[in-house]
Structure 1
Amino acid sequence: METLQGLPEVHANLDSWESAASAGDRGHGAQIDLRIAGKAFTLLIEAKKAVYPRDVREVLWQFRDFSPSRAVGAGQEGHEALSLLVAESISPGAKDLLRTERVGYYDSGGSLFLPAHGAYLYIDRPPPKALAKAVRSLFSGRRAQVLHALLVRHQDWFGVKELAEQSQVSPATTSQVLTELERFDWLASRGQGPSKERHLRDPGALLDAWVKQLASVRPAVLRRYYVPAIKADQLLERAGQVFAAHQVGYAISHEAAAQRYAPFLSNVSQVRCRLLVGPAADAAISELGARVVNEGANLAIIEAKSPGELLFRERVGDVWLASPIQVYLDLLGGEGRAKEMAEHLRKERIGF
């Protein structure tokens, strides 16, 4: 009500809290009499706590089941009945679907959409903090390992146990992630109970959502080194040999890896690598003759705390490269032509 009343040439009155529908009609939760620049409308409110794409179909059915002509005042001359979904949080995908169906919505973040004949209101604001935090946690830590597995093997069907093993996380965490993804309508499912399997319906949408979260993720800390008397291509091979000799887990990423997957640049000046930290890693770096520098680095190390950060790496020639998904995400946080290279990699190697 405060949002509506704060708009120019808009007058709103809460007409009723309870449904005015007749017997057998599901009705609505509340009703608002609205005037916009002299035009009269009746808002029929459906209230929810949180709405995701999966929930939109139910909301649409509820609005369609209720006959707007039975709303109090809707029969008055000049009144147009409009459906409006009010929720604490509405996910971006759900908002897109509601706009497509021309159903109004309002969330606690202040976003408002109200399509009407002769009056169109659209306020787009950041999602409420609770929703933003929930989505952000989905793309970080061990939960992100589950997403990584789904994207890398997006053509496969998974049970919870199998996906947990692939992701190197607990079945409980895997199940939680799958439940969240189903809310966004990104998964298809088959079977019931313990034999239930899921399949990533739209890998491109999931990857796009991950990209949107990158801006809120703290960039990885780089340890910068200079290895003398060696070119980047040679350094890539040399680093692979030394890390293997010291039995250190690693995965080359960024431009050096993308160039191997899908050549794009004429040359690469720096090798960036995820490396499992520890005494063996320190010994390997020492054997390379690498010295710490602030500028002019040709080797940058991203410290990996667990093997899960090296998931789905691929052996190309004699070196281990981070998965194309990981390389793509890393490049989007880079500088120079890294973003162009990321899009080239996505088109040529990832494919969705």
Structure 2
Amino acid sequence: MHAHLGSWESVAAADERRHDARIDLHVAGKSFTLLIEAKKSVYPRDVREVLWQFRDFGRSQPVTGGDNEALPLLVAESISPGAKDLLRTERMGYYDSGGSLFLPAHGAYLYIDRPPPKTLAKSVRSLFSGRRAQVLHALLVQHQDWFGVKELAEQAQVSPATASQVLTELERFDWLATRGQGPSKERHLKEPGAMLDAWAKQLASARAPALRRYYVPAIKADQLLERAGHVFASHQVAYEISHEAAAQRYAPFLSNVSQVRCRLLVGPAADAAIDELGARPVNEGANLTVIEAKSPGELLFRERIGDVWLASPIQVYLDLLGGEGRAKEMAEHLRKDRIGF
């Protein structure tokens, strides 16, 4: 393939500007005019605005002469995965600093998909971790509700500033619906499935949590579940059962579960409880695995089923995706049967 840049034109007049630049390009014997729109970062909400802008421009005046095909091209430092999907669906070209390129020209279809630039990857990673993740958790668990910033902050146990920052980011992904203005403005998670998918995708590349593996002799997993819940409660240890043992309570899937995994705040009280269980540290053959929680926020939205605290179905689903064996199958069963989106 041979490409030749015919001409480049900056569009600078404020009263005429509908795009940032115009490039005449000749590829494989065909001529195209690229209409360039430049952005720093692009999310689905931004794509909708640009699409409207180009369509409005196309209605108002012709953009090329002769046989040249006019192609809109969005150029940005970073473009989110959701924005790329939307751009391809709408057959609008794009290019980002990571080297991803999409140019849907007749006779010169170009598609190069590369990892997102570090700036976008870091931004997305921070959204799905720490206190910000607590806000996402709150929205997913109560996805049918409307929230003001203050109310959401209280539910997620974060500052109003953190809640506001997360909501602003989520609006850019076009996952929220809004109503009202000013202090009375409320948001509602209209795309819980898309946000949960994005969280799951992010966790796939995240560092695995710190684990402590133990073996408790002479006890079956279902009995260990009840026993651990009783002992943790007697020592006033905040905990939640997750993974297969919790999923089996929410949406039975396996004939039996061989291991109990729990998330708890480590410390002297937790150590005393583990000692009372008669658990001994092991490298293999564990039937009790402890996931170390760094803050009480990691135990938000747990549910009490019988005498045992279970992690929320959302948390159990995310934990299972990082498991082995049939954990991923169980995760999908839980999502379909209990989560519902």
Aligned with 1:216: secondary structure?
coil
What does 1:156-167 align with in structure 2 at a 5 Å threshold? 156-167=145-156
1:47 corresponding residue in structure 2 = 38
Distance in 2 between residues matched to 1:128 and 1:250, nearest whole Å: 38
- Structure 2 residue matching 1:66: 3-state secondary structure: helix
Any conservation in 1 of the 2:93–2:103 contact (CA below 8 Å)? yes
Whole-angstrom CA distance in 1 between matches of 2:277 and 2:15: 78
1:64 aligns with 2:55: yes
Shift of 1:25: 4.2
Unaligned runs of 5+ in 1: 1-7
The C-alpha deviation readout for 1:301-333, integer Å capped at 9, x for no partner, is 111121111110001111000000000000000
Match of residue 180, structure 1, among 169, 177, 198: 169
- Residue identity in the other structure for 1:9: H
In the other structure, the counterpart of 2:107 is: 118
Q: Is 1:136 paired with 2:161?
A: no
Q: Structure 1 CA distance, aligned partners of 2:310 and 2:246?
A: 6
Cα distance in 2 for residues equivalent to 1:350 and 1:158: 20
CA contact (8 A) 1:26 1:66 kept: no
Is structure 2 residue 235 aligned with structure 1 residue 246?
yes
What residue in structure 2 maps to residue 151 of structure 1? 140
Q: Quick one: which amino acid aligns to residue 172 of structure 1?
A: A
- In the other structure, the counterpart of 1:200 is 189
Other-structure match for 2:216: 227
Give the match for residue 5 of structure 1: none
CA distance in 2, matches of 1:210, 1:159: 23
Counterpart in 2 of 1:9?
2
What SS is found at the alignment partner of 1:248?
Answer: coil
Bigger mean CA deviation after superposition, 81-90 or 181-190: 81-90
Instruction: Determine the structure 1 residue equivalent to 2:330.
Output: 341
SS of equivalent to 2:204: helix
Contact 2:321–2:328 (CA under 8 A) maintained in structure 1:
yes
Give me the TM-score of the superposition, normalised by structure 2: 0.96
Cα separation, 2, equivalents of 1:14 and 1:333: 51
Kept in 1, the 8 Å contact 2:21–2:36? The answer is: yes
Corresponding position of 2:257 = 268
Assess if the C-alpha contact under 8 Å between 2:180 and 2:186 holds in 1. yes
Alignment-mate amino acid for residue 279 of structure 1: P
Residue 171 of structure 1: how far off its partner (Å) = 0.6
* SS at 1:144 equivalent: helix
SS state at 2:75 partner: strand
> Partners in 2 of 1:294 and 1:24 — Cα distance?
70
Q: Greater CA deviation, 156-165 or 54-63? A: 54-63
Q: Tell me by how many angstroms 1:14 deviates.
A: 4.3
CA distance in 2, matches of 1:80, 1:24: 25
Displacement, 1:28?
2.1
Deviates more, 1:48-57 or 1:60-69: 60-69
The aligned length equals 340
User: C-alpha deviations, 1:3-47, integer Å up to 9, x for none?
Assistant: xxxxx322224421235x8x9643321111111110111111111
1:217 maps to 206
Question: Is the 2:6–2:26 contact (alpha carbons within 8 Å) kept by the matching residues of 1?
Answer: no
CA contact (8 A) 1:257 1:321 kept: yes
Change (3 A) 1:196 1:12: same
Q: Give 1:12's aligned amino acid.
A: L
SS in 2 for 1:121: strand
- Which AA in structure 1 matches 2:2? E
Measured in 2, the distance between the counterparts of 1:24 and 1:162 equals 44
Q: What corresponds to 1:189 in structure 2?
A: 178
Native 8 Å contact 2:11 2:17 kept in 1: no
